[in-house]
């Protein structure tokens, strides 16, 4: 079992690299521990709450007790299936803000500024505006990844955008185009009524080539000889075997499992490795550190009229929706129901959005339990750039044991200031005229939660991860002691080994991370193949002209 390139992880970035490297004529073996993504639970967009809560598709990770969130352990789902987390996520497509990537470049990831990454976002996209406007000059139309928009038939989607406008915020036709800031339509990785995961977009076409194959097994460590990666050891059917790489080993196993594999392979903080009896190959203190995520709450309103999706929240309706989807790939089953969105700034002096909204015409939890109130709707809201940092470390040297995941959520005063602003600004949006016909009352936090202390208590009990972990193998200058990979995704201190997934983000981007993770796989492919990167774009993003003085 050997190939030019061995990729660990058939997730968002791994599938993109398998496609691009095999397209160039290189031989590729992709190692994936999870199984098939066939079946309606994954492929039907509206069924998104199911795969995320099914152990067959999810690694089932949990955080350590989080001291600032009442010591709750938060679910940390990661896809254990072909397509990785793109097969179990909410299918929301967000590139990130231009300034996120400019910050990456300033933090030492040279060549990853917005001008550098925009051409890769265009290369990967096959964008369909569905007649809903948008920003075609900024979008790609012939890439493998289909990006579409929901039908926005429910009147609440328009009410949300109109309420934002009434509250004085910008509107935007395309938050993935020139202007992220404002209220407008949300985009989804859905095509012809099916989840368009990285497996459907990239891996299936790649596997049709005789240069690409999939190997099922649990990667246990990178084999390193004389400072150079030569293969990957896997457990398969109770036996250990080595998959050899003639050119390079590439880790794309997620921001949780990539650092775990580096540590198991002797790459990481020397003292931590020694504590587990692991020989040090490269002392990289940054491995597993810099863990970031987005936290959010579900701000829920009871509806005054039966316009929400709650009328379908019964077995008979679900069966009808499922049948319609199975036979025609149309109807409510064909959308993730996240069809309106917003990005706003929390206060004057913030130069680009730091709050995100996902709007949903149903009051429901991610585990699929509907609100007791019946008809309702909700906005998922949370800050984008928390200053808190956590870590991923080993519990033991046994590769079958889950790593220790500690996010350290809400550990700074700024976190609390930002989150309270989210709640108060949301309450104001739902109080606008556009929602008057639809609002009965506030379910949660509840209209009586007004003071800082009352809001803080709500956050401590109800904040949930938005499932966007990243940053645990940070990209930076080769001279930076806390950087793990250089700007070409090469692990510093080990030859022929790269990491290319959300682990390498220096700082978390605005919005959902699937889009930027795939972009990393696309751009890393050119570095791996030794190609000149795509020519930088010179499109300048829209920044609020009055951001210094005004919040909106």
Residue ranges at the known binding site for FAD: 81, 89-92
As annotated, the binding site includes 81, 89-92
Cα separation, 244 vs 249, in Å, equals: 9
- Report the DSSP beta bridge partners of residue 301: 377, 442
Q: Please spell the DSSP secondary structure of 310-345, one letter per residue.
A: GGG-SHHHHHHHHHHHHHHS-SGGGS-S--EEEEE-
Q: Provide the pairing of β-strand 239-251 with 267-268.
A: unpaired
DSSP assigned state of 506: S
**Are 343 and 181 in contact, with CB atoms under 8 Å apart?**
yes
Q: Please spell the DSSP secondary structure of 404-446, one letter per residue.
A: EEE--TT-SHHHHHHHHHHHHHHHHHHTSGGGTTTEEEEEETT
**Are 46 and 325 in contact, with CB atoms under 8 Å apart?**
yes
Between helix 514-528 and helix 12-23 the angle, nearest 10°, is 30
Cα separation, 12 vs 205, in Å, equals: 14
DSSP assigned state of 278: P
From 109, 88, 101, 75, select the one nearest 44 (Cα to Cα).
88
Cα separation, 269 vs 155, in Å, equals: 53
Kindly report the three-state secondary structure assignment for every residue of 14-46: HHHHHHHHHHCCCCEEEEECCECCCCHHHHCHH
Q: How many CB atoms lie within 10 A of CB 537?
A: 18
Cα separation, 473 vs 284, in Å, equals: 10
From 113, 198, 208, select the one nearest 147 (Cα to Cα).
198
- Report the DSSP beta bridge partners of residue 376: 302
DSSP assigned state of 200: I
Active-site choice (33, 157, 294, 468): 468
Pair of tokens at residue 225: 């000889």
Pair of tokens at residue 447: 């209209």
CA angle 40, 90, 462 (to 5 degrees): 120
Separation in Å, CA 510 to CA 105, 425, 487: 16, 18, 21
| Helix, strand, or coil (residue 296) | strand
Residues 6+ apart with CB under 8 A from 277: 397
468 catalytic per annotation: yes
Pair of tokens at residue 266: 């002797």
From 186, 117, 182, select the one nearest 147 (Cα to Cα).
186
Residues in the chain: 552
From 48, 12, 511, 38, select the one nearest 258 (Cα to Cα).
12
Q: What is the torsional sign of CA 470, 466, 141, 214?
A: positive
**Are 501 and 258 in contact, with CB atoms under 8 Å apart?**
yes
- Catalytic positions are 468
């Amino acid at each position: 079992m050997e190939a030019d390139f061995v990729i660990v992880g058939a997730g968002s970035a791994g599938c993109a690299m398998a496609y691009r490297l095999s397209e160039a004529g290189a031989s590729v073996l992709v190692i994936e521990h999870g199984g098939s993504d066939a079946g309606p639970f994954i492929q039907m967009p509206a069924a998104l709450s199911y795969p995320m809560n099914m152990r067959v598709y999810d690694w089932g990770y949990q955080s350590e007790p989080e001291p600032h969130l009442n010591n709750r352990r938060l679910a940390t789902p990661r896809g254990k299936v072909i397509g990785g987390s793109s097969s179990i996520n909410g299918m929301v497509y967000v590139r990130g803000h231009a300034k996120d990537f400019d910050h990456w470049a300033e933090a030492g990831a040279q060549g990853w500024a917005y001008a550098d990454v925009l051409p890769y976002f265009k290369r990967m996209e096959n964008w369909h505006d569905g007649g809903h406007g948008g920003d075609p000059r900024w979008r790609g139309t012939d890439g493998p990844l289909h990006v579409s928009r929901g039908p926005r038939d429910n009147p609440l989607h328009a009410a949300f955008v109109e309420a934002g406008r009434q509250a004085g915020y910008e509107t935007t036709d395309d938050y993935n185009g020139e202007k992220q800031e404002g209220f407008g339509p949300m985009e989804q990785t859905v095509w012809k009524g099916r989840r368009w995961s990285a497996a459907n977009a990239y891996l299936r076409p790649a596997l049709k080539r005789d240069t690409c194959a999939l190997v099922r097994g649990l990667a246990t460590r990178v084999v390193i000889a004389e400072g150079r990666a030569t293969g990957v050891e896997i457990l398969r059917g109770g036996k250990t075997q080595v998959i050899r790489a003639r050119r390079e080993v590439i880790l794309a196993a997620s921001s949780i499992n990539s650092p775990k594999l580096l540590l198991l392979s002797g790459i990481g903080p020397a003292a931590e490795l020694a504590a587990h009896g692991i020989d040090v190959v490269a002392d990289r203190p940054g491995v597993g550190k810099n863990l970031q995520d987005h936290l959010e709450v579900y701000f829920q309103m009871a509806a005054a009229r039966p316009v929400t999706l709650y009328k379908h929240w019964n077995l008979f309706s679900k069966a009808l929706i499922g049948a319609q989807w199975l036979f025609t790939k149309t109807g409510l089953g064909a959308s993730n129901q996240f069809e309106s969105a917003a990005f706003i700034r929390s206060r004057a002096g913030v130069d680009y959005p730091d709050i995100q909204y996902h709007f949903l015409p149903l009051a429901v939890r991610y585990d699929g339990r509907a609100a007791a109130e019946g008809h309702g709707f909700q906005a998922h809201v949370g800050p984008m750039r928390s200053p808190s940092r956590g870590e991923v470390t080993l519990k033991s040297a046994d590769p079958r044991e889950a790593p220790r995941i500690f996010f350290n959520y809400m550990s700074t005063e700024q976190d609390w200031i930002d989150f309270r602003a989210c709640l108060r600004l949301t309450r104001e949006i739902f109080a606008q005229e556009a929602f008057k016909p639809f609002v009965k009352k506030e379910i949660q936090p509840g209209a009586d939660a007004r003071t800082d202390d009352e809001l803080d208590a709500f956050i401590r009990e109800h904040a949930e991860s938005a499932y966007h972990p990243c940053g645990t193998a940070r990209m930076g200058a080769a001279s930076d002691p806390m950087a793990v990979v250089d700007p070409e995704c090469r692990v510093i201190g080990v030859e022929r080994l790269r990491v290319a997934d959300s682990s390498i983000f220096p700082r978390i981007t605005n919005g959902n991370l699937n889009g930027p993770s795939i972009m990393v796989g696309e751009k890393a492919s050119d570095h791996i193949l030794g190609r000149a990167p795509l020519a930088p774009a010179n499109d300048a993003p829209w920044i609020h002209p009055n951001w210094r003085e005004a919040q909106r």
